[in-house]
Amino acid sequence: MRTLVTGATGVVGTEVVDRLRADPSGPGSLTRVARRAPDAEVTTWNIGNEPPPQELSGHWDVIVHTAASTRWTMSRAEARAANVDPLRAVLSLADRDTHVVHVSTAYVGGVRAPEDLRGAEFEGYRNGYEWSKAACESVVREEHGGPLTIVRPPLIVGRRDDGRIARFSGPYTIIHALVSGLAAVVVGDPDGYAEISPVDEVAEAVASAVLAAPPDTPRVEVIAGGGGSLRLSAMIGIACRTLNEFRAHHGVAPIEQPPFVPPATWNRFFLPLANQYLSPFQHHAVQLLAMFQSYTSMSSPFEPTRTVHDPGTVMETAVRHWAARKPRLALAQPNPWTLLAT
């Protein structure tokens, strides 16, 4: 069996490759593709911006498409160029017998975003990334005539057993903000659902699709905690407690858990009043952290096909691993916000 994995050096792609290589039944010939190849075993391809290398020609039994930009601040044009156009380039390598396993996101439902998150620009989606992943699902369904599996993970953190992950991104921004003092408050509903998944369980869903018989009709795998997912207050509490355990072990004073402010109150009252007093750095931090509002304050959880059990332990392990790998950040003295004089 000839298998292609795009984004093979990314967060999900790295884990998928490791999982496939560890399986005794294996995928046979496995080709890894990345925009920047760390070694000669990985094929370099700037997907969507240049023709595919000659070595990628021929029939593929399975194409696993994990390559994507997950940046939440993309414009619509940037998101199309970063995610939709590359998908079409990858699909040009597939034929009607190719099983395409496409990694999407669980947040493709199109929940209307607050006005400051540019919901109108993205047709009700929270940001450019989410809009582009919804567009990608439409493209792969309409333009690929062969077998199709779509894998939808929520926010991704490190492995369940040890917290390891190829790159700290996404929810790790919250951890950094808590310990640095950038998160003066947590904007969100304390009782809202905050869905996370360890990266190894996302990879397991992808690898299982690769090794299984191709589906007769498009199949969708949703990885989530469902009714057992974390609430925002629990997620923040676990993060602060775990960070403080690490700090205590190194003789450093604990951080304080910031208060919660409802999104409507923050967007309508606090932010408009505070904007004039924020430094450019603080303003950028506020915009970045605001992207998490709707992701960590969902009124109802996802309905999983693959359930993430005990997400609290997953979060604790992820924070502990981050602190061990980023000790200077984890042990830093929080820098309280100060107002600019006007």
Q: Going from the N-terminus, what domains does the chain have, and what CATH number goes with each?
A: 2-152 (3.40.50.720), 165-194+224-300+309-342 (no CATH)
**Amino acid, res. 4:** L
Give, in order, the Cα–Cα distances in Å from 279 to each of 177, 282, 283. Answer: 16, 5, 6
pLDDT tens, residue by residue, 185-204: 788 889 999 999 999 999 99
Q: Could you tell me how far CA 215 lies from the centroid of its own chain?
A: 26
* Confidence (pTM): 0.91
Is the CB of residue 32 less than 8 Å from the CB of residue 5? yes
Q: Where is average pLDDT lowest: 212-221, 224-233, 273-282?
A: 273-282
Q: Which residues, at least 6 apart from 338, have a Cβ–Cβ distance to it below 8 Å? A: none
Q: What is the mean pLDDT of residues 125-145?
A: 93
- How high is the pLDDT of residue 230? 94
The helix/strand/coil state of 45 is: coil
Rounded CA-CA distance 13/32 in Å is: 9
